[in-house]
Every structure is written in C-alpha cells, then in structure tokens.
Amino acid sequence: MLHKTRGIVLKTTLYSENSVVVQIFTAKFGIQSYMINGVKKPKAKIKMNMLQALHLVDMVVYHKTNSSIQRISELRPSPVFRTIPYDIIKSTITIFLNEVLYKSIRQQHADENIFDYIFNAISWFDETDQASANFHLAFLLKLSRFLGFAPSLETKSDQSYFDLQEGEFKSLTPVHPYFIEKTAAELFILLFITPFEKLNEIKIDNTTRRLILDKILIYYTLHTASFGEIKSHQILEEILS
C-alpha cells in the first residue's frame, strides 16, 4: 500500500555500488530505513544529492508493518534548500545538528511535535538571511523540550548554579561536575526561550559559545541513553571561531 509522508533525512549508508540504505525521520511512521537502488546512475529518479544531512523531502512510500527495510516509490526535496548547501557556516551547523539528532531521536513511531519542530526550524534556517552563530545552541536547547528534559526556568536570587543532571537551578555547588555557573547559565536559559528570529540580539563571544556548546552536549549525554561522542562539533568550532 502506498503512503504519502514528509521526511527528514538523517543518515545515508552505501549498500552496494549503486544502492544505499537511508534512515529518514518520517511524519507518518517515525524513523524508517529505506533501500534505494540506482542512486548513482545518470538517469536515477532519486539522486544522492537529495539524501544529504537534514534534507527535507516529500515521499510516496511502501510501508510494511514490522519490516526493517522499506521501499520508496517517489522522493523529492520539499522545500528545495536555498542556502544550506552553499553556505559553509550553515552547512557545517547542519552536519553537526544531524549528528546530534541521529544519536538522540529514537522514535520508531510517529511524533508530530518533534517532526514539526525540526522541519520548521531547518526550513527557517535555510530561508533566513539573518542566521545567527547561536542557532545550533538554541535549536538543541529548544529540542530538549520535545525530548522530555527541558531545563527548568524557575530560579531564585540565591541560586547561582544550573545543575545539568537535575535540569534546574541550585543554591549550592553540586557535588558532581555537571553544572554551569551563573553567567553562562543565564545565557543557557536565554537561548532556550529566545525565538530564532531574535537570536542575533544575543551577543556571545567564541570562548563562551564553546563553553555553552560543551555543556549542552553534556546535558544531552546525561539525559539521552547511548548518546555517545559527538565528533563534528570540533569542526563547527573551527568554522565559527
């Protein structure tokens, strides 16, 4: 039976000389693996450049319940990216976010809220001419709300530490090393609550940005099973510095 669904490309793995297996977060079925044949052939209907990190697509798919590999009848970019593939900063941020998403999203079932958040955020990031170097920080902090570990916004004047393990502010220094001190913690929360279109109003120097990114990755590690090591953030830091 054929189904129409939107999708977000997460990972493409070579299967043979002209075939790939693509993991796509779909609006209708959650994360699914699709076998696509002939992607490198000159007249391929579905080409490799349609299957890059976080590309947004419309698909017509065959879906068999309990099958580990599905098939695609039709796939097309929607929307077609205007800037991400051609802007080194945007493309590097996208590669980084793709790696984090691949390690943190486990939905084997449809989750409309998570899907719409990612789809709309990436669409905005591609369309905007005012992209902020803080986009990836805000994107991941906002995503934590949908993954179930949003930081608590409640704070008192004597609470100078944000406990990454508990996700809340504390008055005393936590006994473990997973915390942020007051100034950086305030930026952490500000990035969480600020709309994407106003991120340029938040001024963060490169050293502080690296610190906050490291803390966000620790936050994800503490709250996401089998999160593992993120490698692309080192390249990202070089590009943004």
Work out the widest C-alpha separation in the chain, in whole angstroms. Answer: 65
CA 223 to each of CA 145, 165, 204, 226, 227: distance values in angstroms, whole numbers, following the listed order: 12, 8, 25, 10, 9
Q: How do beta strands 2-14 and 168-170 pair?
A: unpaired
Q: What pLDDT score does 131 carry?
A: 78
Fold of the domain spanning 88-240: de novo design (two linked rop proteins) (1.20.1440)
What is residue 213's predicted lDDT score, i.e. its pLDDT?
A: 94
**83, 25 contact by CB (below 8 A):** no
Quote the pLDDT of residue 98. 95
* pLDDT at residue 12 in the model: 93
Q: Is the pTM of this model over 0.95?
A: no
The pLDDT, as a whole number, for residue 16 is 82
- pLDDT attached to residue 22: 96
Over the stretch 62-113, which tens digit does the pLDDT of each residue have? 999 888 899 999 999 999 999 999 999 999 999 999 999 999 997 768 899 9
Q: 208 φ, ψ to 5°?
A: -70, -40
CA dihedral of 48, 79, 236, 222, whole degrees rounded to 10: -100
pLDDT at 101: 95
How would CATH label the architecture of 2-77? Beta Barrel (2.40)
Domain range summary for the chain, segments of one domain joined by +: 2-77, 88-240
Residue numbers in the chain where pLDDT is lower than 70: 108
